[in-house]
Amino acid sequence: METTTVTHKLIAGNWKMNGSLAGNEALLQAILAGLDADTAAVDVAVCVPAPYLAQVQALCTGSPLAWGAQDVSEHEAGAYTGEVSAAMLRDFGCRYVIVGHSERRRDHGESDEAVARKAQRALACGITPIVCVGETEVQREAGQTEAVVKRQLAAVIHTVGHCVSEIVVAYEPVWAIGTGRTATPEQAQTVHAVLRAQLGAAVPEPRRVRILYGGSMNAGNAAALLAQPDIDGGLIGGASLKAEEFLRIVRAAV
């Protein structure tokens, strides 16, 4: 029987291709200093460029801040120059990996099936994939939002089967990413409810699968988005590069 229990909200930073050894250290120290007994009610993570995973592991092991990567190979090992495997991410203590971010779908031609295989590789190594789905502006205007996000999630459900209970989903409307144009809480909730229903057909406890919103989420709009019944956290790009702003989003999720 479905329970109404929802696990902790998750606030995950997506640093994208930003950072430096010196800058990361300052940012991480400031985030760590702001995590306290109150924020323990929220799961907090940063998804960093692969070269910095060792640094983040060194600075964050034993802290409440988890970390992850922004992509993973769909292959296990071998002749895949430039790729990073899920086992390598596990070596560096990753709890999460983002898969299928719209920037990778767009710039690297990642298909729904490739994204699903990446999610499967992550799960096989005990890493939680944060599976991104979302429509472009043209698709929204054509009334295709629901069909697009359902197709993207269906590929993952088809590939990972009942293990879909172990994933995190991130709804990121492409038109809201990095644009300052956030989906309204109602627009986001409508899509999250569609995704929740789709998960409900695949797993017995769909409320335990966290569905994050991403796309220009910031300290000013986070509370209203996170108050929606099917929004279980955020995937934060630009606002995750500023410690105080990121911490304000974390506190909005308490």
Contact residues for ligand PGA, defined by CB under 6 A: 14, 172, 177-178, 214-217, 235-239
Kindly state the smallest distance separating residue 237's Cβ from ligand PGA, in Å. 2
By beta-carbon distance, which residue lies closest to ligand PGA? Answer: 237
Q: With respect to ligand PGA, which residue has the nearer C-beta, 135 or 203?
A: 135
Kindly state the smallest distance separating residue 78's Cβ from ligand PGA, in Å. 30
CA–CA distance, 172 with 183 (Å, rounded to integer):
9
Q: With respect to ligand PGA, which residue has the nearer C-beta, 131 or 203?
A: 131
Kindly state the smallest distance separating residue 17's Cβ from ligand PGA, in Å. 12
Q: Show which residues are catalytic.
A: 101, 172
Q: With respect to ligand PGA, which residue has the nearer C-beta, 185 or 200?
A: 185
Kindly state the smallest distance separating residue 65's Cβ from ligand PGA, in Å. 18
Q: With respect to ligand PGA, which residue has the nearer C-beta, 205 or 245?
A: 245
